[in-house]
Amino acid sequence: MPEPSTTHLVLIPSYNTGPRLVKTVRAALAAWAPVWVVIDGSTDDSEAQLAAFAADQPDLRILRVSPNRGKGGAVLFGAQAAEKMGFTHILTMDSDGQHPATEIKRFMEASAAAPSALVLGVPQFGPEAPKSRVYGRKVSNFWANLETLWGGVKDSLFGLRVYPIKDLRAVMEWHPFARRFDFDPEVAVRLCWRRLPMKNLPCPVRYFTEEEGGVSQFRYVRDNVLLTGMHVRLMFGFLWRLPYLLLLRLGLIKKRR
């Protein structure tokens, strides 16, 4: 078992993940400790399965929120609790196993080497990845890059990341947005606006079929409407910050170290 860290923990938000949740958590614990799971108002039996598994796992903590808050809401809840316990960084990963736990240590090491940075995963898709997801994210990535003047966000939607907790709370707690599918792209843009360095690491991703227990909470119409509204909102923020972002892009304002 890995030696528990006192600064960095793995945070896994979960909503109705089914049997894949325990598999994901088991793999995460083999790579890192501690691991926290936020059960986000789940109504399936995944919480009970995880609780049974956790009985003899001292490095695993289960947090519960109800009703469902969305991914961003669950991550914020976990980040607030982690900071109270003295942690400074969280690595977020999806509960469905799409993000390989073998990458956790590499991401944590990158964060330890640059504590002020947002460490972003850049997905390397396999042939099983839905084409709508592969090509659709290009639209969100374009807008995120425009909103930051190409400030270093290589992928705006990939959820395997390491966040400095203090900065994550700062960009989330003053507004009610970035709580659901808009979480990943909005906080990446806003953290870039805060002058955090962006560290991008390529990372394989796997999409599981229903037969393999794959679960997706993505809803094409609902979530694309949410993303569209988010980018409209961020564009207003971009226009207001444009002179500052130009100075940042030209190097006349330095990113944080």
| pLDDT band at 197; cut points 50, 70, 90 | very high
* pLDDT over 60 at 214, yes or no: no
**Hey, what are 17's tokens?**
């993940």
- What's the whole-number average pLDDT of the chain? 92
Determine the average pLDDT of the residues in 183-192: 97
Query: Is residue 82 within 8 Å of 54, Cβ to Cβ?
Result: no
* pLDDT over 70 at 218, yes or no: no
Q: How far is CA 88 from CA 1, 28, 51, 61, 149, in A?
A: 22, 19, 26, 17, 28
Query: Is residue 24 within 8 Å of 104, Cβ to Cβ?
Result: no
Query: Is residue 91 within 8 Å of 24, Cβ to Cβ?
Result: no
* pLDDT over 70 at 211, yes or no: no
Q: Is 145 helix (H, G, I), strand (E, B) or coil?
A: helix
* pLDDT over 60 at 207, yes or no: yes
| E-assigned strand segments in 184-237 | 198-205
Cα separation, 166 vs 175, whole angstroms: 16
Cα separation, 202 vs 194, whole angstroms: 23
Q: pLDDT tens across 90-116, in order?
A: 999 999 999 999 999 999 999 999 999
DSSP state of 101: G
Determine the average pLDDT of the residues in 65-76: 95
> Which has the minimum average pLDDT: 50-54, 211-215, 218-222?
211-215
Q: Higher confidence at residue 90 or residue 135?
A: 90
Determine the average pLDDT of the residues in 2-20: 94
The domains of the chain, with CATH numbers, are: 8-249 (3.90.550.10)
How many C-beta atoms surround the C-beta of residue 145 within 10 A?
17
DSSP state of 19: T
Cα separation, 205 vs 100, whole angstroms: 7
Q: pTM for this one? A: 0.93
Q: Higher confidence at residue 181 or residue 12?
A: 12
Tally: H helices and E strands in the chain: 8, 7
Residue 204 phi/psi, 5-degree rounding, is -70, 150
Determine the average pLDDT of the residues in 138-156: 95
Place of tokens 């995944």: 46
Q: In one letter, which amino acid is 13?
A: P
| E-assigned strand segments in the chain | 8-14, 35-40, 60-65, 89-92, 118-125, 161-164, 198-205
| pLDDT band at 18; cut points 50, 70, 90 | confident
Place of tokens 């999409």: 207
Closest residue by Cα to residue 11 from 73, 67, 55: 73
